[in-house]
Amino acid sequence: MDQIAIISDVHGNVTALQAVLDDIGDRGITRIFCLGDIIGKGPGGDTAIDGVRTHCERVVQGNWDDFVSRESEFEAVKWHQQVAGEERLDYLSKLPFCIEFMMSGKFVRLFHASPRSLYERVQPWDDISSRLSLFEPSELCTEQRQADIAGYGDVHNAFIQHLKGKTLFNAGSVGNPLDLTLASYVILEGHYGETSAGPLNIQFVRVPYDIELEIQRAAEAEMPLLEPYMKELRTGQYRGLQK
């Protein structure tokens, strides 16, 4: 069967990205899709973008990719813009909204946050109607049909749920996981492009990486908002909940 590695939310953490790419390579997987938020939070936005461009067959835009590629009054955003450079920011601004394909007879739609917006946040514990809405198309989607399988990133919490005969999953975060302090990605296994029913498997993978090395790199780069970044990497707790 065909295998697709689905990564998301690298957030400039090149240490974690390299660990995940090494793990994907060790498994012999050559097709990688990225669900956005390549830049932001971590210090290596330029290298992360270059790595994703090199290794990922298809990439969608995340909310950080969107607003970092625009003019901003925030000094932290300006810092990440300077690291990335104009050409990479142009690349981020032109990324597509979603990825759609058939696999083992199932229609799969992948996006960053929701099929309607880069900025709509849906957690695994939100009400059932919010989660079911992630299977619905919008004018931003290419195919105006419900997805059988919907996958996304954004919330940095890896999970899978089966809802009314459909499957919803979140790939978690490579560079800023907020559930475990391990980089996260998903392997989707089945017959790629096949409209007939067949076996299909979704596997979650957690990869350890050198968190202290990543923090050292951020400190040496004199990255803004270093303290909350350190806390998130070390604890897996969202900075908005830190006291």
66, HSE (Cβ side, Cα atoms, 13 Å): 14
Burial class (CB in 10 A: 0-12, 13-18, 19+), 16: buried
Query: If you write DSSP's letter for every residue of 131-193 in order, what string do you get?
Result: HHGGGS--TTSSS-S--SEEEE-SS---EEEEETTEEEEE---SSS-SSSSSEEEEEEEE-BT
pTM here is 0.96
Question: Under 8 Å CB-to-CB from 156, ≥6 apart: which residues?
Answer: 9, 172, 173, 176, 177, 178, 179, 238
CA dihedral 223, 228, 233, 234 (to 10 degrees): 120
- Give residue 4's pLDDT: 98
| CA 166 – CA 185 distance, rounded (Å) | 20
* pLDDT digits (tens), the chain, 243 positions: 999 999 999 999 999 999 999 999 999 999 999 999 999 999 999 999 999 999 999 999 999 999 999 999 999 999 999 999 999 999 999 999 999 999 999 999 999 999 999 999 999 999 999 999 999 999 999 999 999 999 999 999 999 999 999 999 999 999 999 999 999 999 999 999 999 999 999 999 999 999 999 999 999 999 999 999 999 999 999 987 443
